[in-house]
Amino acid sequence: MTADSQMEIDLTTQLEPRSLSGDKGPAFWFLNALATVEATTASTGGAFSLVHQTSPPGHGTPYHLHHHEDEAFYVLDGEFAFICDGKKTVLGPRGYIFLPRGIPHGIRAEGQRPATMLILAMPAPGS
């Protein structure tokens, strides 16, 4: 299988409807932020993954880029600063930003209290 074919969405697998209630998804710590996986690569046939992240004040990612995934972020609570291709955007609750693959970016939780957001990666990492 080539690297390109690994990035294709699996349209041959019959997916089942899936729902989660509350904090039932698998959770892990990522760079000192709590990440709860709401939709996995397997549960969406590789179409996307969805993560609910709670970040402490000042939490940030290193400046990085993705070669295969686009990302979308939806802020639920608090504020996040997004640096994408050298431009800073600060978003609060109900704020949305799309960060395409191949463009360097970084994220930091702003303010004095924890901030939460949903992170959508398309296609799902590893698919």
pTM for the model stands at: 0.84
| 54 in Cβ contact with 119 (< 8 Å) | no
Contacts of 87 (CB under 8 A, 6+ apart): none
Domain ranges of the chain: 26-122
Bigger pLDDT: 116 or 2? Answer: 116
pLDDT, tens digit, 9 for 90 and up, residues 32-54:
999 999 998 888 888 999 999 99
Does the domain at 26-122 match CATH 3.40.190.10? Answer given as: no
How many beta carbons lie within 10 A of that of residue 52, not counting itself? 18
Give kind and range of the element (H or E) at residue 49.
Answer: strand 49-55
